[in-house]
Amino acid sequence: MSAVEEFLAMLAAERGAAANTLSAYRRDLEGAEAAIGDLAGADGAALGRLGTVWADLAPSSVARKASALRQFYGFLVDEGVRGDDPSSALPRPATRRPLPRILTHSEIEDFFRRAEDEARSNLPAAVRLLTLIELLYGSGLRATELVSLPLSAVPRDAPFVTVTGKGGLARMVPVGGRAQSALSRWIAIRPEGRFLFPSRGGKHLTRVRLFQLVKDLAVRAGIAPEKVSPHVLRHAFATHLLEGGADLRVLQTLLGHADIATTQIYTHVDSARLVALVNERHPLARGGQRD
């Protein structure tokens, strides 16, 4: 077995990496190997040449590829295959993680008003769409988590669903009253099948179809479709909760983030609200007001 295959096997066995994650690592490692030769025996000079090979790529792509290689060489050192780690020669592009796109509170209201108006027809497609967006915005589910929910993940009369997230890790996600109401309506009229949102052939609704449904609803609600996606609704869930005073650690749990650093992207909340919070809650600020 090659060193790359052994590394991928370790990711799958020890870290529970998903198939898509393993495929991405494989592409990056095999691409680097095609450019400079055997990775297991490559030295710093060889890795330095990747900067030229990757010159036309976006900084984020370069950072991702370099990260895969650094982890690969760390694995080789840990396994005793190499006594040195040449990954310090890899390019380190300066990247700034972009802030997530979110919808304003008024846009969310317009979006849901349209979905609710359409669902009054009680047509299955309209009720399904309302349920989908209630779970995206009301519970912060990822698109893949949502469409692949089995019916058994929704306990009877319980205010939560059991979600299998990245790496096969399960978490319990609370479901608000609005989403519960939509879920009850949908379960009463949904077609038979083991998935909550079944499709033909015993499969479930696809991510692509979910994206189409959400963007089409945005158009009907008078919102530019490029502003809306399932992930944007998840971002709005997180940001609006944080604005309402939610704790960052709680938000991390709700979103299923393995690392709190991923959740911290949502701290781009209104600076005026943060100043007001300090003035209102800080002990010295309260003492000054009493004086």
Active site residues per annotation:
142, 166, 231, 234, 257, 266
Distances (CA, A) of 177 to 57, 98, 135, 157, 160: 46, 33, 11, 11, 10
Angle at 154 between CA 144 and CA 115, to 5 degrees: 65
The per-residue DSSP string of 79-143 comes to TTS-SS-GGGGS------PPPPP---HHHHHHHHHHHHHHHTT--HHHHHHHHHHHHHHHH---H
Nearest to residue 132, comparing CAs of 203, 53, 47, 206?
206
Nearest to residue 140, comparing CAs of 245, 237, 232, 207?
237
The answer to whether the CB of 223 falls within 8 A of the CB of 107 is: yes
Q: How many residues does the chain have?
A: 291
**What is the rounded end-to-end Cα distance, in angstroms, of the chain?**
73
Q: Is 99 left (phi over 0), alpha (psi -120 to 50) or beta?
A: beta
DSSP 8-class letter at 281 = H
In DSSP terms, 204 is beta-bridged to 198
Give the C-alpha separation, 16 to 122, whole Å.
41
